[in-house]
Amino acid sequence: MLDKNGIAKRIAKEVQDGYYVNLGIGIPTLVANYVRDDIEVEFQSENGVLGMGPFPFEGEEDADIINAGKQTITTLPGASFFDSAMSFAMIRGQHVDLTILGAMEVSENGDIANWKIPGKMVKGMGGAMDLVASAENIIVAMMHTNRAGESKLLKNCSLPLTGVGCVKKIVTNMAVIEVTSKGFKLLERAPGVSVDDIKNATEGALIIEGDIPEMKL
Amino acid sequence: MINKKVDNISEALKGVSDNMTFMFGGFGLSGIPENAIADLVKRNIKGLTCISNNAGVDDFGLGLLLHQKQIKKMVSSYVGENDEFERQMLSGELDVELIPQGTLAERCRAAQAGFPAIYTPAGYGTEVAEGKETREFDGKMYVLEHAFKADFAFVKAWKGDAAGNLIFKGTARNFNPVMCGAAKITVAEVEELVPVGELDPNQIHIPGIFVQRIFQGEMYEKRIEQLTVRQKA
């Protein structure tokens, strides 16, 4: 079973040379720590920066330079700033190559819910609806089950949707899963996790073909 | 040069009244029009509809207007980090319209650019699209979203001049440029009001034509919401 950093590490392997990448808040933010350093990647943050660098050293923070999680950041050589309309032009116009975001639920047809729990939590969708409606390449980073131990990979989402039929790949603490027209296709298992464990933790249709290899991190 | 400079905050906010619709630039607490917000708090006008990506925090930004119950309705994309907001929303005191962030930006830009509405794929198939016109283009579904109509846009820039030209800094740019000229009156406050001619015309982000009033803000706290640093090795 992976922890959050393990999930981020596995997703980092999906990031390719020359990619512009948008990272969501939470586990996705950690992915930047594990991207191979022999490839060129630029991180976009929807509040208006391309070419995000690491967090600043103490005392070097600037209130005018933050990421979408409102954290202070730095920029790398070649970075640029822009307004919100241009930021979403990058996203909606499919100029961003890879979007990695968290989710509360994903359904077997690729629907995603991650912005609202009616009556309990309403924080808003931020940029998530724009991201999932436009991105060709969306990876969801999340735990396989919720705090109550219930599957987050469902036949149908129970929460209000963020987008329909958009998720292509899911990396959880237990597995790597591809969303296909027939349901969740199991690609890889996390270290120490069996196919049966994954089956038991997945409510939606799970397609298992042949031997399922263990993830290489 | 057409002079947009006003001498003080009270002249800058002349004409604001109850039940108006205001736009506020900023993302989180970065790039918010701190001086305009402080003056609106002082004036204690009520029944406001506020278009802003976020709603501030409990004791800063638009949170100050929420605290005095001056806001009737918020139009935002993300409203976390604000307990008073949550309380007013759940109790029904505050009307909230949550819309995707890109849609928020584009509804501002549409107002600025003279488009009555735009089609966006964001929110299709979700509750955001309920009751809205949808249409297929090249096999993909889009939602019709209307341009905002606002009485005032309050924006904050780094530098500006009396002609109303603006330059923004870093990610404090965010929604500020798209709100300029998107309301009947755009009020720009700047950290530094420089003499006309000092700003390089090549570097200007927003030309003065989109700004009706400009003033130098008295002070900026520029509060950091999530101070995040790394340790020196």
Q: What is the residue type of B61?
A: G
- Sole residue written with tokens 């640093």: B229
Q: What is the CA radius of gyration of chain B?
A: 18
Q: B202 and chain A: CB distance < 8 Å anywhere?
A: no
Q: Measured between CB atoms, which of B27, B96, B232 is closest to A47?
A: B27
A8 to chain B nearest CA, in Å? 19
B40 vs B232 pLDDT, higher one: B40
What CATH number has the domain bearing residue A138?
3.40.1080.10
**For helices B101-113 and A84-92, angle between their N-to-C axes, nearest 10 degrees:** 120
- The pLDDT assigned to A122 comes to 81
Q: Identify which of B65, B126, B212, B199 has the alpha carbon closest to the alpha carbon of residue A115.
A: B126
How, if at all, do strands A138-141 and A169-171 pair? parallel
Contact A129, B128 (CB under 8 A): yes
Residue B13 included in any domain: yes
Mean pLDDT along residues B108-137:
98
Cα–chain center distance at A146: 16
Residue B228 included in any domain: no
Mean pLDDT along residues B185-195:
98
Contact A179, A168 (CB under 8 A): yes
Q: Identify which of A212, A144, A203 has the alpha carbon closest to the alpha carbon of residue A172.
A: A144
Element (H, E) at B83: helix B83-90
- The model's pLDDT over B32-85, given as tens digits with 9 standing for 90+, comes to 999 999 999 999 999 999 999 999 999 999 999 999 999 999 999 999 878 888
B80 vs A86 pLDDT, higher one: A86
Residue B108 included in any domain: yes
Mean pLDDT along residues A61-71:
96
Q: What is the residue type of B69?
A: K
Contact A12, A23 (CB under 8 A): no
Distance of alpha carbon B89 from alpha carbon B85, whole angstroms: 6
Q: What is the residue type of B169?
A: K
What CATH number has the domain bearing residue B22?
3.40.1080.10
- The pLDDT assigned to A97 comes to 96
Question: How far from each other are the two terminal CA atoms of chain B, in whole angstroms?
Answer: 53
On average, the pLDDT of chain B sits at 96
Residue B166 included in any domain: yes
User: Residue A14 belongs to what domain range?
Assistant: 4-44+88-207
Question: Looking at the predicted structure, is the pLDDT value of residue A121 above 80?
Answer: no
Question: What SS3 class is residue B123?
Answer: coil
pTM (2 d.p.): 0.96
Residue A82 included in any domain: no
Question: What SS3 class is residue B137?
Answer: strand
Question: Looking at the predicted structure, is the pLDDT value of residue B198 above 80?
Answer: yes
CB atoms within 10 A of CB A148: 5
- Sole residue written with tokens 């009485």: B151
Mean pLDDT along residues B153-181:
98
pLDDT band at B23 (very low <50, low <70, confident <90, very high): very high
Contact A98, A19 (CB under 8 A): yes
User: Using a CB-CB distance cutoff of 8 angstroms, which residues of chain A are in contact with residue B25?
Assistant: none
Question: Looking at the predicted structure, is the pLDDT value of residue A101 above 80?
Answer: yes
Residue B132 included in any domain: no
Contact flag A122-B105 (C-beta cutoff 8 Å): no
A217 vs B126 pLDDT, higher one: B126
Q: What is the CA radius of gyration of chain A?
A: 17
Domain count, chain B: 1
Question: Looking at the predicted structure, is the pLDDT value of residue A155 above 90?
Answer: yes
pLDDT band at A26 (very low <50, low <70, confident <90, very high): confident
Token readout for B226 is: 């999530």
B125 to chain A nearest CA, in Å? 6
Residue B162 included in any domain: yes
- In terms of phi and psi (left: phi > 0; alpha: psi -120 to 50; beta: otherwise), the region of B116 is alpha
Rounded to 5 degrees, what angle do the CA atoms A35, A41, A47 make?
105
Q: Measured between CB atoms, which of B76, B108, B230 is closest to A124?
A: B76
Question: Looking at the predicted structure, is the pLDDT value of residue B202 above 90?
Answer: yes
Distance of alpha carbon B158 from alpha carbon B173, whole angstroms: 9
Mean pLDDT along residues B110-114:
98
pLDDT band at A167 (very low <50, low <70, confident <90, very high): very high
Mean pLDDT along residues B204-212:
98
Long-range contacts of B60-67 (CB under 8 A, 24+ apart): B60/B29, B60/B221, B60/B223, B61/B26, B61/B29, B61/B32, B61/B34, B61/B37, B62/B24, B62/B32, B62/B37, B64/B37, B64/B38, B65/B37, B65/B40, B65/B41, B66/B94
- The pLDDT assigned to A119 comes to 81
Token readout for A200 is: 């038991």
Question: What SS3 class is residue B107?
Answer: helix
Distance of alpha carbon B211 from alpha carbon B186, whole angstroms: 5
Contact flag A48-B174 (C-beta cutoff 8 Å): yes
- The pLDDT assigned to B90 comes to 84
Mean pLDDT along residues B20-36:
98
Residue B189 included in any domain: yes
- The pLDDT assigned to A152 comes to 98
User: Residue B59 belongs to what domain range?
Assistant: 9-114+148-216
Distance of alpha carbon A53 from alpha carbon B136, whole angstroms: 39
Q: Tell me whether residue A108 is one of the annotated catalytic residues.
A: no
On average, the pLDDT of chain A sits at 96
Mean pLDDT along residues B5-20:
97
Contact flag A58-B158 (C-beta cutoff 8 Å): no
Chain A residue at shortest CA distance from B141: A133
Size of the A and B interface in Cβ pairs below 8 Å:
182
Residue B170 included in any domain: yes
Mean pLDDT along residues B205-225:
97
- The pLDDT assigned to B80 comes to 82
- The pLDDT assigned to B86 comes to 86
Beta bridge partners of B6: none
- Chain B interface, best mutation among A47, A115, A164, by max B CB count within 10 A: A47
Q: A127 and chain B: CB distance < 8 Å anywhere?
A: yes
Q: Which of residues 131-170 of A touch B (CB under 8 A)?
A: 133-134, 160-165
User: Using a CB-CB distance cutoff of 8 angstroms, which residues of chain A are in contact with residue B232?
Assistant: 57-58
- The pLDDT assigned to A157 comes to 98
- Per cent of chain B over pLDDT 70 is 100
Contact A37, A57 (CB under 8 A): no
Rounded to 5 degrees, what angle do the CA atoms A143, A144, A148 make?
85
Rounded to 5 degrees, what angle do the CA atoms A179, B135, B123 make?
50
Rounded to 5 degrees, what angle do the CA atoms B190, B193, B199 make?
105
Active-site position among A14, A40, A42, A46: A46
Domain count, chain A: 1
